[in-house]
Amino acid sequence: MAAALADLHTAAELQMGLGSHPVFNYALGVVLANQREWMRAREAFTAAIRAAEAEGRRGSILILAFHERAKTRQLLGDARGALEDFNEVIRAQPDNRHALIRRAFALKVLGQFETSSRDWQRAKSLDGANDANRATLDEAWMRFEIPFVELCLPGEEDSAV
């Protein structure tokens, strides 16, 4: 990942304006998140969101950037910020199981247990989880001290959910 980060910085130096492109900033955020540099990743995803919105993009890159920023916000302990971003993802993709699961955890941390439970039940009703996976997630959700779950690596969210 260090080589990928160096390559991204080199590309930005060589191609004027690349550093303000939403896809570039999303890719930078993914690399940083995979290196567990959460604060820098959050900044890159924020730059991707701003650039996508400035270009009038409402599609997958914007939703992916919101989803990944929400995940980094959870990892940084910012449940309220994560909730705002998960709301954006779910508004665009109401059946996004990963976003519903993660939003349930953010809501739980914020003490919104009834809404958290609704998201949890909705996510469990969607295809994509086997019984063993559901049981493991149920156990995690019921434990108050667990503020989030990591369902996939940064950059592996399905934007076509």
Is a pLDDT exceeding 70 seen at residue 26?
Answer: yes
* Domain range summary for the chain, segments of one domain joined by +: 2-142
Report H helices in 2-145: 2-14, 22-34, 38-54, 60-75, 79-92, 97-109, 113-125, 131-142
**How confident is the model over 93-134, as pLDDT tens digits?**
999 999 999 999 999 999 999 999 999 889 888 866 555 556
Which token pair is 31? 């690399």
pLDDT value at residue 125: 85
Is a pLDDT exceeding 90 seen at residue 64?
Answer: yes
**How confident is the model over 81-97, as pLDDT tens digits?**
999 999 999 999 999 99
Domain 2-142 CATH superfamily: Tetratricopeptide repeat domain (1.25.40.10)
> Whose CA is closest to 78, among 121, 30, 46?
46
Is a pLDDT exceeding 60 seen at residue 63?
Answer: yes
User: How many CB atoms are closer than 10 A to CB 38?
Assistant: 19
Q: What is the mean pLDDT of the chain?
A: 82
Is a pLDDT exceeding 90 seen at residue 44?
Answer: yes
Predicted model pTM: 0.80
pLDDT value at residue 161: 45
pLDDT value at residue 53: 92
CA angle 74, 71, 116 (to 5 degrees): 65
Of 6-20, 38-52, 63-77, 128-142, which gets the smallest average pLDDT? 6-20
